[in-house]
Amino acid sequence: MSQHDRGILSSSDLRKPLNKVVYGIMVLGITVMIVTMLYPILMTMFNGLKTNQEVNSFPPHFFPQTWNWGNFSEGWDYINLPMFLKNTILIFVGNLLMTVLVLGLASFSISKLNVPFRRGIYFFILMTLFIPASSYIIPNFVNLKELGLLNTYWAFWLPAGASAYYFLLMKNFFDGIHPEIFEAARIDGASELTSYVRIAVPLSVPIFATLAIFIFSTAWNDWFWPSLVMHSEEKYTLATAIYKYVINARSMDNNIKFTILFMVMIPPIFVFLVFQRFIMRSVSLSAVKG
């Protein structure tokens, strides 16, 4: 048996009755977790394929009696999903660029440069994590209003450049990169900015990919802040549009609601499945120091 094929318990371990019981309990627990996570997704999909009468019937049926694939086209035409999707992608791209440019440079400076009072700066940023996010919603809103940035994408991009959580993730990742690499670059005449762009960024692809998944998830799922700072319908995010025009819609058939909700579930799942290897890689690399 190769190292990659070895499981939690070897074949010799499974010969012991107690290990078999423990292994069976683990498998049962994992199975329950998988079913618990998949059930809402499958229920949403199957309800989206039912007629409205089937969705409202009691007792409910898990599988549709008739498969109404036309509900997807009807749900797609109900709201302007491409426009709201474009707004969400613009917010995601801007937030990602602000994270890489502002927070990336800041975390690299604290980690690798001899910045005055860097330990004090680090602990100050660390303490901000203990402040509830709801406590600075109003100050952020007032600041953006005074700057005239409401109903613009900068209402998302500027706060993205001040995320303490993303700063600490990148700082801890940069701490794991050998300092001799940057010392050799300085000897060769490279500036600190060049070291960041040509050395730190290529080595930090796993953490940046992980942050991209987190930022995408936030931009995709957040509806409260966009509904607060965006006043025109043309700039609503997808989550805000779903909340206003689908979830709160009273005259809309429930099967069409489920169809739209299922369609907006697919992209985050796809993004995670494609890039999940970067999450595991960044976690393992962040745990190895020196």
pLDDT category at 204 given cuts 50, 70, 90 is confident
- Contacts (Cβ under 8 Å, ≥6 apart) of 103: 161, 163, 166, 167, 170
Q: Would you say residue 274 has pLDDT above 80?
A: no
Which segment of 7-11, 19-23, 52-56 scores lowest on mean pLDDT? 7-11
pLDDT category at 91 given cuts 50, 70, 90 is very high
Q: Would you say residue 60 has pLDDT above 60?
A: yes
pLDDT digits (tens, 9 = 90+) for 93-121: 999 999 988 999 999 989 888 888 888 88
Mean pLDDT across the stretch 176-189?
A: 86
Quote the mean pLDDT of the chain.
Answer: 84
Cα→Cα distances 257→43, 55, 94, Å: 13, 11, 30
Instruction: Give me the pLDDT at residue 20, please.
Output: 75
Which segment of 14-18, 111-115, 268-272 scores lowest on mean pLDDT? 14-18
pLDDT digits (tens, 9 = 90+) for 140-170: 899 999 999 999 999 999 988 888 899 998 9
pLDDT category at 137 given cuts 50, 70, 90 is confident
